[in-house]
């Protein structure tokens, strides 16, 4: 089995090939997670890029022959009047009933499975509900599966039916491909499946769409075919009052006019209990046209309209497919929704675990940690495969870093006093923590890969193995999806563990008592008016708490008996997959927050390195100035050598103070070693009265130096720095000490390892998220001053970048990059050669 990293990189390259136009060809046996993601999450479009790739069926004659033979087994038994479960019998606990009408039986199967709740309902515009109070959650999203889930399920079910074990016609498989390619997606209830006998209820809505049931509602993700002829259906086209002609928003109590493609108006869904032919035209004028909102994954056109199934099929030039014997059950009786959603979740989870290794490496750099924690010797002394792999990845990521400590220095005991001898747990033990997650996610990936390439029907049809054979019908339980449930339960736990590690690393970087000299809260300005990442620390604690809850859930043990006690044990696989998607989304929030924080920490670390280097020069210059030591460089160096350790130590300890009192404190603590140095060097001739002047001058110059550096890193003019507090008299801008040039968007790049630098520069340069704190330094945080800009000008100022967005909005930009796949491509590029 290949490593998780190799599989991850291959997945990204494979996905990109499909998004570049390589067709996805279904064979029934090698459907990949990349293929599912490409079809499920991307909309078919001749113009948009990337678009869902072309979908094809295998051209194998052998596969086609086996498929036809499977169908012949069913057809011959029906013709012979033989009793077959689901063809002549009732279903589940009602399998003791008999009928010789398999088509009516199939219709009854769909009827009783169309029992999920979709809100808004088809009659939600009735007068009785027009004045309803505001809902507590989004009505559509809280009851309806996002289209990406359903497209994944349709693809998985098509692949399963192609295998020739379900006894369905080839035409059905072709029709499934047709509707997927045209972007026709039924609305499917979010809840209602117990994933025993498969995801029966969920899949029934796909079947209802295929036969054109007008009670089934459908999204069209791709523009319908333009129509040049009047719509001719058994359902009349709605008419709207002239007063509604210009309206386009969804408002309670008023009909929303149709959005049109090629002049065709959508038909609003009708009540499942109302025959289409009996619906009067005026009813449509009063009914509910439901606009589509955002999806959990990639969102198609938010103005897309919901149609009835026959209307959607008509608009896309798709004929409904009357189902034959056994085909109703053939569509319903499978784990496609559970497996399809699980496949999408696993793909996202691999992003998170690999990103967790990158965040660890970046955090080690930001805190001046030791690369040696990931030395191959350590993991081979305890050779768990996941630990070896994750340690190797982090070790490789830190190669050539100027921040991470490559070699542990051996020092005398007295030189080491009071120093934390080793890195903190969250960094030092990260391979031992991430390693089990690498192993689990790799196993889970394989479980789901097997599931999406399986036949999960009952009964199964075994075609004859030789000409003239009869074939067999197998009554068994491949629909039981506990393999998926267990995989999702374990994945949720893994995501919780990864999120916990991210949270601890994040909060230790923010804490000045643990971050090795970085400012408290990683503030870019003075701590009295800049609380930096404190709010993100609190938000991350919220994410960690939620992940703890989700990780502790065991959905698989929560099943209850159902359906006349026939489904006495059931997997709840779809429920587990849904909760695992929630855990994935929360972990993505955590990862994005961590990435924002670590980039801030890296810039703060780079600034601090410069501060240390330049402060030594400031001390030397002040010694020359105050003690008239011009030209005595060796003497100045000897004094500075005694003074600087105390200056550095004071700089480390005072990161939580405002600049002026902080530098006064630093300068004061330099006096004792200064006097000691002057005594040791027998410089009694010097004017020791200059010591007080030295302290004052040094404090002022260090304060100005720090302000200059902050301006250079944050892109602020020294003249724009807030010099006074509200109600006080502002002081003039200080005279620059070094005339420091702006450091640009990526000041830490020169110190980072080549591989970690790729991710850091993606955030800073490509996503445009700069070091935080410029507005605090200028005193221009909204609300600090009287904000009198009119609303429109203020909006333009925000959009133009002259007014800062919120911290949360910056993190949201990173979240979007994680969810839409851009981050994955960056990680794959940075990992190139790690597996070599």
3-state secondary structure 736-752: CCCCCCCCCCCCCHHHC
Instruction: Tell me if residue 26 falls in helix, strand or coil.
Output: strand
Residue 305 phi/psi, 5-degree rounding, is -110, 155
pTM, to two decimals: 0.87
What is the per-residue pLDDT across 222-270, written as a single tens digit (0 to 9) for each? 876 654 433 333 333 333 233 322 322 222 333 333 333 233 333 333 3
Q: Higher confidence at residue 83 or residue 296?
A: 83
At 627, the pLDDT band (50, 70, 90 cuts) reads: confident
Q: What percent of the chain has pLDDT over 70?
A: 82
C-beta atoms surrounding 611 within 10 Å: 21
Q: Which of 340, 344, 362, 345 is nearest to 494 (CA)?
A: 345
Q: Pick the range with the lowest mean pLDDT from 96-110, 325-339, 811-825.
A: 96-110
At 507, the pLDDT band (50, 70, 90 cuts) reads: very high
In 73-223 the beta strands, taken as DSSP E runs, fall at: 184-186, 217-220
In 764-822 the beta strands, taken as DSSP E runs, fall at: none
Q: Pick the range with the lowest mean pLDDT from 222-236, 595-609, 813-827.
A: 222-236
Q: Pick the range with the lowest mean pLDDT from 207-221, 709-723, 763-777, 782-796.
A: 782-796
Q: For 683-693, what is the mean pLDDT?
A: 74
What are all long-range contacts of 648-651, with beta carbons under 8 Å and residues at least 24 apart?
648/612, 648/615, 651/517, 651/608, 651/611, 651/612, 651/615
- Rg over alpha carbons for the chain, rounded to the nearest Å, is 33
Q: Pick the range with the lowest mean pLDDT from 285-289, 455-459, 621-625.
A: 285-289
pLDDT at 264: 33
Tokens of 332: 């319903």
* Signed CA dihedral, 304, 310, 315, 321: sign only: positive
| Rounded Cα gap, residues 43 and 180, in angstroms | 10
Q: For 201-227, what is the mean pLDDT?
A: 88
Q: Which of 380, 122, 373 is nearest to 270 (CA)?
A: 122
Q: Pick the range with the lowest mean pLDDT from 254-263, 296-305, 674-683.
A: 254-263
Is the bond into 93 cis (omega within 30 degrees of 0)?
no
Residue 536 phi/psi, 5-degree rounding, is -70, -35
- Chain-centroid distance of CA 207 in Å reads 31
299 has a pLDDT exceeding 50: no
Q: For 182-204, what is the mean pLDDT?
A: 89
pLDDT at 260: 30
- Chain-centroid distance of CA 325 in Å reads 42
Q: Which of 759, 616, 766, 628 is nearest to 698 (CA)?
A: 616
Q: For 505-525, what is the mean pLDDT?
A: 90
Q: For 379-394, what is the mean pLDDT?
A: 94
At 732, the pLDDT band (50, 70, 90 cuts) reads: low
Instruction: Tell me if residue 280 falls in helix, strand or coil.
Output: coil
Q: Which of 326, 288, 313 is nearest to 127 (CA)?
A: 288
**Do the Cβ atoms of 693 and 661 come closer than 8 Å?**
no
**Do the Cβ atoms of 314 and 463 come closer than 8 Å?**
no
What is the per-residue pLDDT across 46-59, written as a single tens digit (0 to 9) for each? 777 888 999 999 99
Q: Of 122-136, 290-304, 443-457, which one has max mean pLDDT? A: 443-457
Q: Which of 7, 252, 272, 287 is nearest to 135 (CA)?
A: 252
Burial class (CB in 10 A: 0-12, 13-18, 19+), 684: exposed
Q: Kind of pairing, strands 472-474 and 306-308?
A: unpaired
**Do the Cβ atoms of 40 and 341 come closer than 8 Å?**
no
User: Which H or E run includes 664?
Assistant: helix 659-669
Q: Across all residues in the chain, what is the average pLDDT?
A: 83
Q: For 655-670, what is the mean pLDDT?
A: 92
Q: Which of 173, 214, 406, 398 is nearest to 311 (CA)?
A: 214
Helix 807-819 with 534-551: angle, nearest 10 deg: 40
Tokens of 67: 């498929």
pLDDT at 246: 30
- Strand pairing partners for 189? 144
**Do the Cβ atoms of 289 and 68 come closer than 8 Å?**
no
Q: Residues 8, 18, 85, 205: which is the catalytic one? A: 85
622 has a pLDDT exceeding 70: yes
User: Domain-by-domain residue ranges, the chain?
Assistant: 17-84+116-188+215-320, 749-830
pLDDT at 568: 61
Q: Which of 619, 550, 599 is nearest to 760 (CA)?
A: 599
pLDDT at 288: 34
pLDDT at 569: 67
| Rounded Cα gap, residues 374 and 685, in angstroms | 55
At 800, the pLDDT band (50, 70, 90 cuts) reads: low
Q: Which of 737, 665, 667 is nearest to 708 (CA)?
A: 737
Instruction: For residue 545, give every residue at least 6 positions away whose Cβ sits within 8 Å of its Cβ, in sequence order, or none.
Output: none
At 195, the pLDDT band (50, 70, 90 cuts) reads: confident
696 has a pLDDT exceeding 60: yes
| Rounded Cα gap, residues 471 and 69, in angstroms | 9
185 has a pLDDT exceeding 60: yes
| Rounded Cα gap, residues 643 and 640, in angstroms | 5
DSSP 8-state symbol, 766: I
pLDDT at 513: 87
pLDDT at 407: 67
| Rounded Cα gap, residues 475 and 460, in angstroms | 7
DSSP 8-state symbol, 55: E
Q: Pick the range with the lowest mean pLDDT from 6-20, 295-309, 515-529, 622-636.
A: 295-309
Q: Higher confidence at residue 689 or residue 709?
A: 709
Q: Which of 494, 514, 521, 541 is nearest to 426 (CA)?
A: 514
pLDDT at 238: 32
127 has a pLDDT exceeding 90: no
Q: Which CATH number fits domain 17-84+116-188+215-320: 1.20.120, 3.20.20, 2.60.34, 1.10.275?
A: 1.10.275
Q: Which of 176, 227, 183, 177 is nearest to 203 (CA)?
A: 176
Catalytic (active site) residue 85: yes
**Do the Cβ atoms of 756 and 774 come closer than 8 Å?**
no
Q: Which of 306, 324, 506 is nearest to 424 (CA)?
A: 506
pLDDT at 23: 96
For the chain, the distance separating the N- and C-terminal CA atoms, rounded to the nearest angstrom, is 16
Q: Higher confidence at residue 2 or residue 460?
A: 460
Q: Higher confidence at residue 577 or residue 409?
A: 577
């Amino acid at each position: 089995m290949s490593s998780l990293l190799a599989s991850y990189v291959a997945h990204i390259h494979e996905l990109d090939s499909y998004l570049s136009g390589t067709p996805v060809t279904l064979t029934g046996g090698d459907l990949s997670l990349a293929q599912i993601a490409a079809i499920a999450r991307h909309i078919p479009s001749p113009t948009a890029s990337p678009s869902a790739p072309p979908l094809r069926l295998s051209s194998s004659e052998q596969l086609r022959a086996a498929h036809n033979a499977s169908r012949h087994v069913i057809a011959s038994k029906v013709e012979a009047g033989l009793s077959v479960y689901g063809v002549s019998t009732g279903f589940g606990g009602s399998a003791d009933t008999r009928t010789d009408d398999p088509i009516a039986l199939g219709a009854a199967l769909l009827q009783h499975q169309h029992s999920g709740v979709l809100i808004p309902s088809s009659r939600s515009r009735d007068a009785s509900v027009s004045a309803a109070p505001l809902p507590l959650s989004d009505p559509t999203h809280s009851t309806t599966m996002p289209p990406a889930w359903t497209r994944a399920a349709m693809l998985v079910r098509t692949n399963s039916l192609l295998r020739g074990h379900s006894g369905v016609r080839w035409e059905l498989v072709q029709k499934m491909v047709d509707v997927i390619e045209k972007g026709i997606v039924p609305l499917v209830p979010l809840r209602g499946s117990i994933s025993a006998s498969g995801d029966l209820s969920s899949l029934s809505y796909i079947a209802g769409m295929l036969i054109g049931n007008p009670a089934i509602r459908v999204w069209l993700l791709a523009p319908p075919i333009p129509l040049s002829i009047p719509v001719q259906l058994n359902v009349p086209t709605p008419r709207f009052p002239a007063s509604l002609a210009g309206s386009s928003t969804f408002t309670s109590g008023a009909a929303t006019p149709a959005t049109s493609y090629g002049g065709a108006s959508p038909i609003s869904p009708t009540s499942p209990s109302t025959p289409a032919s009996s619906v009067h035209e005026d009813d449509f004028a009063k009914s509910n046209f439901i606009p589509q909102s955002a999806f959990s994954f990639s969102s198609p056109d938010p103005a897309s309209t919901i149609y009835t199934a026959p209307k959607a099929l008509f608009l896309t030039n798709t004929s409904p497919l009357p189902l034959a014997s056994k085909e109703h059950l053939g569509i319903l009786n499978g784990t496609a929704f559970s497996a399809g959603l699980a496949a999408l979740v696993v793909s996202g989870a691999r992003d998170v675990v690999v990103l967790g290794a990158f965040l660890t490496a970046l955090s080690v750099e930001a805190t001046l940690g030791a690369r040696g924690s990931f030395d191959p010797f350590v993991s081979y002394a305890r050779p768990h495969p996941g630990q070896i792999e994750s340690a190797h990845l982090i070790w490789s990521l830190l190669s050539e870093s100027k921040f991470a400590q490559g070699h542990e220095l051996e020092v005398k005991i007295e030189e080491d006093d009071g120093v934390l001898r080793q890195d903190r747990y969250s960094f030092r033990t990260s391979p031992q923590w991430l390693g089990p997650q690498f192993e689990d996610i790799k196993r889970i990936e394989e479980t789901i890969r097997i599931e999406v390439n399986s036949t999960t029907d009952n009964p199964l049809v075994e075609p004859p193995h030789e000409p003239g054979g009869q074939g067999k019908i197998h009554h068994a339980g491949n629909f039981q999806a506990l393999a998926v449930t267990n995989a999702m339960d374990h994945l949720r736990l893994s995501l919780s563990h990864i999120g916990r590690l991210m949270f601890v690393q994040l909060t230790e970087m923010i804490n000045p008592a643990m971050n090795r000299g970085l400012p408290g809260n990683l503030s870019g300005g003075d701590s009295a008016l800049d609380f930096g990442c404190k709010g993100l620390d609190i938000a991350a604690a919220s994410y960690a708490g939620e992940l703890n809850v989700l990780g502790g859930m065991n959905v698989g043990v929560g099943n209850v008996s159902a359906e006349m006690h026939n489904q006495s044990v059931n997997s709840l696989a779809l429920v587990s997959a849904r909760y695992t998607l929630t855990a994935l989304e929360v972990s993505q929030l955590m990862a994005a927050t961590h990435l924002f924080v670590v980039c801030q920490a890296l810039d703060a670390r780079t600034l601090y390195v410069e501060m240390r280097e330049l402060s030594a020069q400031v001390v030397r210059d002040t010694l020359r100035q105050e003690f008239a030591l011009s030209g005595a460089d060796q003497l100045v160096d000897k004094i500075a050598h005694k003074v600087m350790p105390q200056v550095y130590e004071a700089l480390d300890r005072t990161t939580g103070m405002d600049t002026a009192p902080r530098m006064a404190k630093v300068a004061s603590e330099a006096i004792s070693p200064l006097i000691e140095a002057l005594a040791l060097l027998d410089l009694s001739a010097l004017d020791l009265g200059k010591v007080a002047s030295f302290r004052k001058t040094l404090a002022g110059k260090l304060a100005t130096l720090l302000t200059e550096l902050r301006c250079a890193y944050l892109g602020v003019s020294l003249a724009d720095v807030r010099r006074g507090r509200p109600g006080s008299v502002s002081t003039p801008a200080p005279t620059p000490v070094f005339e420091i040039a702006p450091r640009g968007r990526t000041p830490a790049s020169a110190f980072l390892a080549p591989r970690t630098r790729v991710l850091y520069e993606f955030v800073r340069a490509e996503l445009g998220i700069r070091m935080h704190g410029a507005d605090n330094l200028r005193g221009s945080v909204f609300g600090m001053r009287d904000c009198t800009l009119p609303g429109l000008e203020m909006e333009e100022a925000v959009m133009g970048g002259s007014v800062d967005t919120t911290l949360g909005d910056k993190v949201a930009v990173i979240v979007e990059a994680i969810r839409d796949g851009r981050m994955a491509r960056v990680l794959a590029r940075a990992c190139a050669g790690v597996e070599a």
